[in-house]
């Protein structure tokens, strides 16, 4: 290293926290921003004051909470960020770039009031050259202002989707300083250096490098393009050099490949071994630019309709999908958040992740390489397209950015370009069958274009798309455009039966067709539990039943190209209701990353690490009749398990085909200790839980209080620890609804003014009466209502009496509180002469309804 370069290098080391190789400096600009949550004139100018703006750090979003309140809208529009960037005058002869890993979704960058550049699309990184706008006066300050907008834009994918579009600079941001002779593509995920490993075998591997170099000086330059490969221990493996001359103010592409490396250590999910390639521009012995990329040696193929192979061996792709947002943070995540997610996925036993429905953080791909998780990444063309060249241009640019930024990661095997592109019609409304041939021709044309862009950008991976179950894809020839055909399948959830999953698959199978199950899933709300799971009841028990069946059917079809659960984590769905508003709950873990019981089904099947898990963590507090048997289940990779309940050993059970164990158990009132244990390779593994069982007598003798989740087969545990037991038809000598029919809210409708959505979500319709054959005494009766329909005042009116005494007269929920809004009504009533409590409903207009009921003895 020459003396002046050494000084510069040492200076840069003091000046900035991150040094990305010699000759290049990269440091975080996450701190010290001021934020203004609106549009404001002249915000980019130095003269404008940001004194009253909110101090923030990146990653940041302004939508961390507002998509999830009772107000159906959330703020999508313009906001401003400003920051002072202090650069030492000695950097004057260098190139300075600002690199944003993502800003959702349109960003305009200004430096010292000058417009420096803009970027469209919320999920890929962009670097903007700010060299010409910098102020180098002594003690000169530089004002960086970024206008970010997440307003809907019909020309930028995604158009309308089932997840929140969090506005903000929600990933890390960096300053990158280079020499004037430098690698062109300045972004920290590939550094502008694209590496392939052609012809890898167990015996040898080669490394080939392609890059674009830019000479921003007024003289022709001669330099060495040096690539050095080191192993995981940092030991030199191979180095290769090419001498290059570049004209003044020119940019040129350089390719170079090294000699084969003998006996390479291969990369795989089981052994994710990485080498490092250091690429340098060296002139006169001085390193002018340098970037480092981790790579892995592996080869893979989808085997013409017969599964997937990695490094010459069949590998069943056991996968999941990941949405990135986290409760309370939105999309503004830290590196630790990404690591926790990817580790949870790895620990469940996955070897594959689909990053749906958009490119994710650079850190996610780094972790996938490190942990050994194969990746499908995709651009966010979801549900429909805008018929415009601008839409196509933006999507093509996104494909280009996604691929160039993820290019060097050995984990990536597939690039996707769309998800369920035929789900909506041209106007953006959900459609059953496509019936506009003109629009279909446009979509097909776009789909072919996007697919060929993917293949041209990266011939070393496979192209793919995810489709929903509809004959339209085959009818219009969209199912055979990409190399791998992804299907999102929900039979047994939105419609049909779980068993139809496999039989439908067998029908779709065509010779040579690589069929990937890109999504399958059912929702599980941890506050709802049942002994009688039913489709669409949102209980963890149904979610487990669904996933057990799908896993079994997947195991029976090793010809599948791979499968991915929808979804690893619950995620936001701003415009959806259900028993937990604004949430998609198909996750293996909750939105704040607590594993649900279903997670351990997969862990037992996919992760060989010995484990025993009593599948009841989501139902530790429960209520039911005394002296009734309850089913208990466990997941384990032990062949046999013993369960003890309150110290009493139950029958030893063997696991079924998906490693599930079941017992019928009698619980006592209060705390119950359950332990399960089994032997694996001679060693004992066990699990222990305490169940708090609130038993009541079937004849209601001695009852102090009883809460019923009317219209539901499931129990609900509220935040105060009270259990709302499942509904039942009235039986003499006990309690229940006297006829009526169980209904649920339309899941698109959000139930407002309550955190107890589950008890309002289901209800009894046309209910004549609800009865409790309680002992004589004084009781408080609380009725809970929410109007499920968008009706007018006066459309539903009914009277309620309790033991013949009027309680509610001409009750009109819509008039009293409004529609889809929770309301409670309490009354004091007497049970006399052994007649218990009869709550009678008399419809005056429309049908009487009841969402939940609680009685309490006074």
Site residues (vs ligand GCB, CB under 6 A): 162, 419-420, 468, 488, 519, 566, 584, 586
Closest separation between CB of residue 688 and ligand GCB, Å? 34
Which residue stretches of 358-458 are H helix?
Answer: 362-371, 389-406, 437-457
The least distance separating ligand GCB from the CB of residue 663, rounded to whole angstroms, comes to: 32
- For residue 695, how many other CB atoms are within 10 A of its CB? 15
Name the residue nearer to ligand GCB (CB basis): 385 or 674.
385
Residue 518 or residue 737: which is nearer to ligand GCB going by CB?
A: 518
Sheet architecture: strand order including 313-314: 300-302, 308-310, 313-314
Quick one: 192 or 416, whose CB is closer to ligand GCB? 416
Q: CA-CA-CA-CA torsion for 351, 352, 355, 357, nearest 10 degrees?
A: -140
Contact by Cβ (8 Å): 345, 373: yes
Nearer to ligand GCB, 423 or 815 (CB): 423
Torsion of CA 154, 422, 494, 601, to 10 degrees: -90
- Which among 771, 697, 691 has a CA at the least distance from the CA of 738? 771
Specify the residue, 566 or 785, whose C-beta has the smaller distance to ligand GCB.
566
Q: Name the residue nearer to ligand GCB (CB basis): 575 or 851.
A: 575
CB 768 within 8 A of CB 840: yes
CA 455 to chain centre: 26
**Nearest distance, CB of residue 181 and ligand GCB, angstroms:** 45
Angle at 622 between CA 620 and CA 625, to 5 degrees: 145
**β-pair type (374-378, 352-355):** parallel
- CB-count exposure of residue 241 (10 Å: 0-12, 13-18, 19+): middle
**In Å, how far are 113, 116, 155, 496 from 97, measured between CA atoms?**
16, 10, 27, 54
CB of 519 to ligand GCB, least distance (A): 5
Give me the least distance between CB of 533 and ligand GCB, in Å please. Answer: 18
Q: How many C-alpha atoms does 89 have within 13 Å on its Cβ side?
A: 5
Residue 358 C-beta: closest distance to ligand GCB, Å: 11
Query: What is the closest distance, in whole angstroms, from the C-beta atom of residue 162 to ligand GCB in the complex?
Result: 5
Question: CB 289 → ligand GCB: shortest distance, Å?
Answer: 41
DSSP-derived 3-state class of residue 59? coil
What are the backbone dihedrals phi and psi of residue 408, each rounded to the nearest 5 degrees, phi first? -85, 0
Minimum distance from CB of 420 to ligand GCB (Å)? Answer: 5
C-alpha to C-alpha distance for 562 and 199, rounded to whole angstroms: 24
Q: Is the dihedral of CA 544, 496, 308, 277 positive or negative?
A: negative
Nearer to ligand GCB, 238 or 468 (CB): 468
Q: How near is the Cβ of 488 to ligand GCB at its closest, in Å?
A: 4
Between the alpha carbon of residue 576 and those of residues 76, 225, 380, 453, 473, the distances in Å are 18, 54, 20, 34, 27
Residue count of the chain, please give it: 858
Helices 389-406 and 437-457, packing angle to 10 deg: 30
Least separation in angstroms between residue 538's CB and ligand GCB is 12
Residue nearer to ligand GCB on the CB measure, 87 or 528? 528
User: Which of 158, 736 has the CB closer to ligand GCB?
Assistant: 158
**Which of 43/381 has CB closer to ligand GCB?**
381
Cβ-based nearer residue to ligand GCB, 469 or 808? 469
Tokens 């048997």 belong to which residue?
629
Q: Are 279 and 193 in contact, with CB atoms under 8 Å apart?
A: yes
Closer residue to ligand GCB (CB): 287 or 356: 356
The alpha carbon of 618 is separated from its chain's Cα centroid by a whole number of angstroms, namely: 21
**Torsion sign (Cα): 509, 512, 513, 516:** positive
CB of 158 to ligand GCB, least distance (A): 10
In whole angstroms, what is the distance from residue 781 CA to residue 853 CA? 7
Q: Report the nearest approach of ligand GCB to the CB of residue 435 (Å).
A: 21
Sequence-distant (6+) residues with CB within 8 A of 432 are none
> Could you tell me the smallest distance in angstroms from the CB atom of residue 163 to ligand GCB?
7
Angle at 789 between CA 787 and CA 790, to 5 degrees: 110
Smallest CA-to-CA distance from 117 within 101, 93, 133 is with: 133
Q: What's the min distance (Å) between Cβ of 194 and ligand GCB? A: 30
Q: Looking at beta carbons only, is 388 or 495 nearer to ligand GCB?
A: 495
Comparing CB distances to ligand GCB, the nearer of 172 and 472 is 472
Q: Give the Cβ contact number of residue 8 at 10 Å.
A: 22
Q: How many angstroms separate the CA atoms of 805 and 808, rounded?
A: 9
What are the percentages of helix, strand and coil residues in the chain, rounded to 5? 15, 40, 45
- For residues 153 and 167, give the distance between their C-alpha atoms in angstroms, rounded to a whole number: 13
- Nearer to ligand GCB among residue 584 and residue 713 (C-beta): 584
In the complex with ligand GCB, the residue whose CB is nearer, 62 or 566, is 566
Helix (H, G, I), strand (E, B) or coil at 139: coil
Q: How many helices (H) and strands (E) does the chain have?
A: 11, 57
Report, in Å, the least distance between residue 441 CB and ligand GCB. 24
Residue with tokens 């170099």: 213
- Point out the residue whose Cβ comes nearest to ligand GCB: 488
419 versus 529: smaller Cβ distance to ligand GCB: 419
DSSP string, 632-676: EEEEESSSEEEEEETTEE---EE--TTSEEEEEEEPPSEEEEEEE
Least distance CB 419 / ligand GCB (angstroms): 5
Least separation in angstroms between residue 469's CB and ligand GCB is 9
Q: Which is nearer to ligand GCB, 488 or 581 (CB)?
A: 488
Cα distances (Å, whole numbers) of residue 387 to 201, 323, 792, 815: 45, 27, 39, 45
Q: How far is CA 643 from the centre of its chain?
A: 35
């Amino acid at each position: 290293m020459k003396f002046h370069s050494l000084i510069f290098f040492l200076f840069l080391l003091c000046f900035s926290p991150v040094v990305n190789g010699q000759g290049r400096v990269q440091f975080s600009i996450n701190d010290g921003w001021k934020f203004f949550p609106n549009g404001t004139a002249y915000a980019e100018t130095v003269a404008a004051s940001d004194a009253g703006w909110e101090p923030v750090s990146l990653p940041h979003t302004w939508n961390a909470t507002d998509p999830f309140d009772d107000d159906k809208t959330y703020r999508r529009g313009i906001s401003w960020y400003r920051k002072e960037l202090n650069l030492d005058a000695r950097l004057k002869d260098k190139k300075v770039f600002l690199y944003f890993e993502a800003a959702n979704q349109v960003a305009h960058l200004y430096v010292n009031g000058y417009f420096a550049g803009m970027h469209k699309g919320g999920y890929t990184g962009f670097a903007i050259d700010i060299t010409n706008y910098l102020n180098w006066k002594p003690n000169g300050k530089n004002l960086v202002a970024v206008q970010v907008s997440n307003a809907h834009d019909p020309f930028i994918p995604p158009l309308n989707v089932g997840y929140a579009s969090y506005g903000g600079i929600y990933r890390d941001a960096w300053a990158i300083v280079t020499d004037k002779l430098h690698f062109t593509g300045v972004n920290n995920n590939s550094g502008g250096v694209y590496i392939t490993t052609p012809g890898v075998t167990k015996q040898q591997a080669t490394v080939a490098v392609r890059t674009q170099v830019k000479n921003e000086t007024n003289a022709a330059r001669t330099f060495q393009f040096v690539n050095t490969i080191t192993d995981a221990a940092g030991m030199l493996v191979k180095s290769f050099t090419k001498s290059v001359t570049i004209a003044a103010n020119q940019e040129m592409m350089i390719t170079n490949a090294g000699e084969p490396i003998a006996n390479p250590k291969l990369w795989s999910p089981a052994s994710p071994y990485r080498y490092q390639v250091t690429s340098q521009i060296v002139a006169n012995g001085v390193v002018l630019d340098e970037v480092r990329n981790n790579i892995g040696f592996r080869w893979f193929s989808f085997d013409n309709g017969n599964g997937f192979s990695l490094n010459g061996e069949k590998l069943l792709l056991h996968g999941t999908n990941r949405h990135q947002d986290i409760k309370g943070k939105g999309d503004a995540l830290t590196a630790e958040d990404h690591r926790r997610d990817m580790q949870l996925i790895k620990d469940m036993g996955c070897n594959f992740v689909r990053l749906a429905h958009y490119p994710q953080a650079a850190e996610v791909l780094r972790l996938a390489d490190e942990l050994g998780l194969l990746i499908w990444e995709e651009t966010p063309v979801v549900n429909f397209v805008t018929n415009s060249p601008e839409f196509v241009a933006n999507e093509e640019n996104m494909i280009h950015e996604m691929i160039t930024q993820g290019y060097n990661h050995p984990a990536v095997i597939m690039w996707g370009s769309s998800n369920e592109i035929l789900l909506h019609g041209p106007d953006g409304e959900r459609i059953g069958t496509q019936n506009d041939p003109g629009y279909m021709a446009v979509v097909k044309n776009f789909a072919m274009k996007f697919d060929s862009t993917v293949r041209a950008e990266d011939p070393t991976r496979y192209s793919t798309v995810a489709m929903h179950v509809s004959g339209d894809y085959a009818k219009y020839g969209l199912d055979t455009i990409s190399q791998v055909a992804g299907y999102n399948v929900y039979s047994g959830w939105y419609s049909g039966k779980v068993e139809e999953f496999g039989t439908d698959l067998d029908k779709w199978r065509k010779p040579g067709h690589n069929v990937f199950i890109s999504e399958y899933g059912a929702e599980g709300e941890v506050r709802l539990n049942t002994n009688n799971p039913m489709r669409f009841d949102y209980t963890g028990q149904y979610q487990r039943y669904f996933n057990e069946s799908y896993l079994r059917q997947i195991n029976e079809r090793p010809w599948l190209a791979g499968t991915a659960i929808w979804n690893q984590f619950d995620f936001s769905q701003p415009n959806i209701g259900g028993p937990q508003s604004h949430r998609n709950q198909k996750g293996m873990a909750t939105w704040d990353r607590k594993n649900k019981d279903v997670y351990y089904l997969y862990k037992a099947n996919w992760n060989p690490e010995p484990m025993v898990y009593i599948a009841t963590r989501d139902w530790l507090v429960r209520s039911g009749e005394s002296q009734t048997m309850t089913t208990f289940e466990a997941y384990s990779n032990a062949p046999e398990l013993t369960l003890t309940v309150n110290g009493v050993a139950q029958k030893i059970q063997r696991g079924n085909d998906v490693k599930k164990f079941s017992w019928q158990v009698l619980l006592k009132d209060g705390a119950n200790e359950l332990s399960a244990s089994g032997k694996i390779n001679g060693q004992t593994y066990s699990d222990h839980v305490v169940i708090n069982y609130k038993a009541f007598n079937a004849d209601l003798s001695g009852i102090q209080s009883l809460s019923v989740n009317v219209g539901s087969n499931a129990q609900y545990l509220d935040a105060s620890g009270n259990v709302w037991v499942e509904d039942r038809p009235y039986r003499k000598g006990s309690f229940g609804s006297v006829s009526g029919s169980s209904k649920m809210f339309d899941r698109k409708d959000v139930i407002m003014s309550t955190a107890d959505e589950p008890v309002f979500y289901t209800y009894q319709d046309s209910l004549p009466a609800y009865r409790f054959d309680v002992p004589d005494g004084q009781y408080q009766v609380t009725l809970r209502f929410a109007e499920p329909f968008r009706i007018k005042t006066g459309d539903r009116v009914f009277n309620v009496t309790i033991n013949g005494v009027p309680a509610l007269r001409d009750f009109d929920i819509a008039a009293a509180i409004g529609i889809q809004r929770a309301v409670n009504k309490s009354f004091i009533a007497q049970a006399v002469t052994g007649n218990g409590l009869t709550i009678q409903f008399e419809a005056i207009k429309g049908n009487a309804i009841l969402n939940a009921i609680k009685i309490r003895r006074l």
